[in-house]
Structure 1
């Protein structure tokens, strides 16, 4: 029964990209997803293929694992020479490369990425060899390992992330925060590590930020006292935000550990079970429009990335983001993907007060439809793009998706109302727009035990709602299709569960018909009332 609510690839091109999926191969406890029984309770036989057809094998890695990360004190390391020597060598090599590329261009030749890296390694070795001779005249000569460290730092500063590279090379690292002299590292399945900063001074950290921002293609984004914050991407696609608006310089790096995530990967990580994975896969293939909601760090982007790879190959998908995180425009996505990115202004304003050169997410929604995109995915809805997104869903963008920040499941529609009403819609118009445009709302939650011995972060879907028009009090009516089961709700054979399990509420016949055409069997929902979740390995009871 409806519940009325009045409130509601780039990484593949870098050395780091190959490491992002290797953590999956280290998790022996989850190497295979749970399999379906031959028949459901009550004698309901399930047709072939079973739900596990949607679960794909995770690529197994052969690189670093947990045992290879080393002691915390060894991670950033200590440079054998002053940082100024490294930056001077980097500038010399950069000048050498620019001169070499100019000569190649005059000859009508262009260096490919791999050729540029090979050239850089040769130039680094040549420059460091000459520099080492001069250095030894006034300082103790460097050993072989120390010289190799200098060569690596110079190369990393040109192509990768410089002083941070040894930390970012760890495939389990998800977030890094540098605050002055301290660096905090959050890794999957590990307690937070507190290390020293890889930068010896504030000036060195600012220089690194500005060098990497310039190398990212965002040359207009510089960190200074007049521009107190900057956002950019590292070569591996990680998102960086740096600011001088705090007591110390603060640098936050957000990693995309599951950049090529599929629903099968999420099953193995415990974010969904095979029943729910098959339902969501069919929903995408059937062209249902989804909102993926959750709190910060729960895996909304990873979920949408996995669902984007369920879009049929015959379709054209446009991804719209303020900063690229989805990375669906690679060989791992069946559909044709156009990856749009909003553009910041250059600081000047025109007569209307608009930043010169600015392209907003709301404008990208309209722009993407001109390229005959059959679906639109907005990285995160925060402002006026909410209206454009929902109108695009109604106007033919069936199967479109977006993510939305919401602190709890019950506040999703309320949270979506904020940008809609801010754009000038009345409450009634906003509710009608949501009810008409959205088919399903998926909520992701997390239990964080990473601060406990043996604990980790558990991320999983807790709710799936179907919109059911307007409620009696004018809000959006929602039907719970999947939700947790509280202990007081437990009946015989139905166990308490904090993750999403099928409810007794049926999907509307119109949408169920579309799901069945996409390969879903309606008998799977009542046939598996407890879902197929593996045991949740919580540390605390």
Structure 2
């Protein structure tokens, strides 16, 4: 065990090449947004439809497979846990409770002692385990205390984004390869439930136990990955969502091909200038990753409140002073008690966050009543706030935002007025998934619109600042030659953006898009 997981993976795995040379008369872009040189590409083999169990690997075949039955690991873990509980009680009695460092050292010492004793007894009736076997057992026990236990060796694989265990099978989604299907690391339904409850307890949510009385549970792993488990399906289903791009910045997104330098400079200036932004896109298109990167552009003198039902932005985990001070608010489910404080929604959190003098608000994803509260916050002092919105098509973003506003009781006309008054920019991100063709996933920005009041059709007027140029084979966002509102453009210029870049780089500075089969 090395104490941390390896958060591998890139937003887009295709190689990169140097950007096109700028015209002699073009102003220079900020150096931090210029794309780097070539990067590696990792080929992979798709799983065929006819592959049967004999053709598909098992989790046990991954590095670190356990040499003994899981029941022995469970017994050892319980023994170590009992030892630690006794030690905690002793330390509390003496007035010197265990700190994090002391706890880790104590667990390591108890693990070594218990495994040594176990090995002596095991050798009486079984072949004696070698030192490498004992090290794997010790690592597994430490992982159960500090990491993800039996699934850690899966999560440690570079590029893994999502893992789903469904009964006897496990499905692994990575950024740079087709979906993989392996046998589950759990030998039985009981073992899978036990893993969930052990991890929930270790996360500080020991009261959240998976059982028939409580058929679903959600919690965080120590590395921040989000776990959702349920017994409501035919078998035990465990979904783990990884945060492989937790530290991504705008410069990283340029490197990975999600944005290009002109667009990155534009978005950076928009955030610093306090423009309110909605980031829209389909599922798994990179909305949260982009908003996380934009959050790191908020000036350090400000205070930023993040409102989420699941902790994905995690900007509060960055080094102090790297960007704005971040207060991370989370929703809370009802505890079922009449007289106790009950459910806290995203809509409840918006006004709460403003009471703590947050100058900006970021909502992880707008789905319901929080849409009204969010837009009102953008108007009433929360300039520069941001949120994400699920929308399958770029042209449907405004109509998609009307849905939660209508549920909150607003008429279409009232909703249009609220959107036009609150929102400055709408950014759309898209994804091309070619892993089934032997290619890779590509995620990138395709559109940036500026809101421009009400339209003649009583909707919201939008001006395209960046858009694809599909007649020239470019599906990503390039300057659209639409003039931006002068008032907003002057705000961007005060934050370092040069409006001449939009004319000087009409095709942007995108790296070539490496499509499967050689298509551009």
- Scaled by the length of structure 2, the TM-score of the pair is 0.91
The alignment status of 1:75 with 2:52, answered yes or no, reads: no
The alignment status of 1:499 with 2:476, answered yes or no, reads: yes
- Partner residue in 2 for 1:222: 209
The alignment status of 1:425 with 2:410, answered yes or no, reads: yes
SS in 2 for 1:199: coil
- Partner residue in 1 for 2:358: 373
Contact 1:14 1:235 in 2 (8 A): no
- Partner residue in 2 for 1:517: 494
Alignment of 1:293-442 (within 5 A): 293-332=280-319, 333-349=322-338, 356-442=341-427
**Distance across 1 between alignment mates of 2:93 and 2:80:** 20
The alignment status of 1:539 with 2:512, answered yes or no, reads: no
Contact 1:89 1:128 in 2 (8 A): yes
Alignment of 1:452-531 (within 5 A): 452-453=437-438, 455-487=439-471, 495-531=472-508
Contact 1:233 1:239 in 2 (8 A): yes
SS in 2 for 1:419: helix
Q: CA deviation at 1:186?
A: 1.2
Q: Structure 1 pair 465/85, CA: closer, same or farther in 2 (3 Å)? A: same
Q: Structure 1 pair 396/25, CA: closer, same or farther in 2 (3 Å)? A: closer
Q: CA deviation at 1:513?
A: 0.8
Alignment of 1:273-292 (within 5 A): 273-292=260-279
Deviations 1:117-176 (A, max 9, x none): 222111111111112222223333222222222211111111111110101112311111
For structure 2, list consecutive stretches of 5 or more residues without a partner in the other structure: 45-55
- Partner residue in 1 for 2:47: none
Q: CA deviation at 1:95?
A: 1.8
Match of 1:259 among 241, 246, 249: 246
Contact 2:449 2:465 in 1 (8 A): yes
The alignment status of 1:52 with 2:31, answered yes or no, reads: yes
**Distance across 2 between alignment mates of 1:367 and 1:36:** 49
SS in 2 for 1:424: coil
Contact 1:76 1:198 in 2 (8 A): no
Q: Structure 1 pair 424/500, CA: closer, same or farther in 2 (3 Å)? A: same
Q: CA deviation at 1:518?
A: 0.7
Contact 1:347 1:356 in 2 (8 A): no
**Distance across 2 between alignment mates of 1:431 and 1:119:** 60
Q: Structure 1 pair 451/483, CA: closer, same or farther in 2 (3 Å)? A: same
Q: CA deviation at 1:477?
A: 1.1
Contact 1:180 1:248 in 2 (8 A): yes
**Distance across 2 between alignment mates of 1:299 and 1:25:** 8
Contact 2:123 2:129 in 1 (8 A): yes
Q: CA deviation at 1:36?
A: 5.5
Greater Cα offset, 280-289 or 329-338: 329-338
Q: CA deviation at 1:28?
A: 9.8
Greater Cα offset, 282-291 or 162-171: 162-171
Regions of 4+ moved over 6 Å: 25-28
- Scaled by the length of structure 1, the TM-score of the pair is 0.87
**Distance across 2 between alignment mates of 1:253 and 1:294:** 21
SS in 1 for 2:313: coil
SS in 2 for 1:319: strand
Deviations 1:405-462 (A, max 9, x none): 1111111111111111101111111111111111000111000011122x11100001
Deviations 1:304-329 (A, max 9, x none): 10000000011000111101011101
- Partner residue in 1 for 2:103: 116
- Partner residue in 2 for 1:95: 82
Contact 1:66 1:172 in 2 (8 A): no
Q: Structure 1 pair 254/305, CA: closer, same or farther in 2 (3 Å)? A: same
Q: CA deviation at 1:275?
A: 0.8
SS in 1 for 2:481: coil
- Partner residue in 2 for 1:490: none
**Distance across 2 between alignment mates of 1:458 and 1:302:** 14
**Distance across 1 between alignment mates of 2:429 and 2:318:** 27
